[in-house]
Amino acid sequence: MEIAGKSALVLGGASGLGAATARRLHSEGAAVVIADLNAEKGEALAGELGERASFVEANVTDAEQVQAAVDAAAGGDGGLRISVCCAGIGWAQRTVSKQGPHDLEVFSNVVGVNLIGTFNALRLAATAMAGNEPDAEGERGVCVNTASIAAFDGQIGQVAYAASKGGIVGLTLPAARDLAGRGVRVVTIAPGLFDTPLLAALPQEQREALGAGIPFPSRLGRPEEYASLVGEIVGNPMLNGETIRLDGALRMPPK
């Protein structure tokens, strides 16, 4: 699918991987709706991009708010064609620690945002896409989800995060099969260690040490590299039902 002239929705689009994706899609000619909880950053990015960019405040776990974001993106010519979900949270806690068992509410919240929020965005975006006119390939849209290599290599303390991201990996193929007859593709990206706001709070020395542990390139991933892969996924109709690791050959140790 060509990006130019299409309408795109980026959830979690105000910073990090999402912001880089919004910039990439916009630079290639898409009209981009940025959806995020952070209105200040989201509006600033939409203002920076200018024409063909807008912001909608939305929590991915809220069906009405995500529907409003989908409606905003679907209102453009040709309907919503590209949806990218980058929204997510992280939390570190062992299954059993000195303080006792893992907090059940924390586990539920992480799964709620990362897994259920991603599915909420997927189901609503795909519903809008299903009503589009198909292109020459019979395609009506593409949904890109964001997992993590923690889905495969979850570390000590990542039980909630790994479970939530593993769920995204697990739904990718059946969702792609569900939507195949409607001409909507589903692909998941599983990033490794990327230079995002999540790692920005760490001391520079620690950030460099994390990057040095990646086989090649031995550095943190750049959000623009994630965005580049989104562009490749949109443009290649044979990419469907797949989870792509984007990690520089990194396999995470237990801790």
Give tens-digit pLDDT for 221-241.
999 999 999 999 999 999 999
Catalytically active residues, by annotation: 161
Residues 167/112, Cβ–Cβ less than 8 Å: no
CATH class in words for 7-194+222-246 = alpha beta
Q: DSSP readout, 58-78? A: --TT-HHHHHHHHHHHHTSTT
If pLDDT is split at 50, 70 and 90, which confidence band does 199 have? confident
241 Cβ contact list (under 8 Å, min separation 6) = 172, 173, 175, 176, 177, 185, 186, 187
Domain ranges of the chain: 7-194+222-246
**pLDDT tens-digit profile of 65-90?**
999 999 999 998 789 999 999 999 99
Residues 88/109, Cβ–Cβ less than 8 Å: no
* Angle between helix 223-235 and helix 16-27 axes, rounded to 10 deg: 50
Residue type, 13: G
pLDDT at 250 over 90: yes
**Longest Cα separation, the chain:** 59
Residue the block writes with tokens 């990646």? 214
Cα end-to-end span (Å), the chain: 40
CB atoms within 10 A of CB 69: 29
- Average pLDDT of the segment spanning 164-180: 98
Residue the block writes with tokens 């989104």? 230
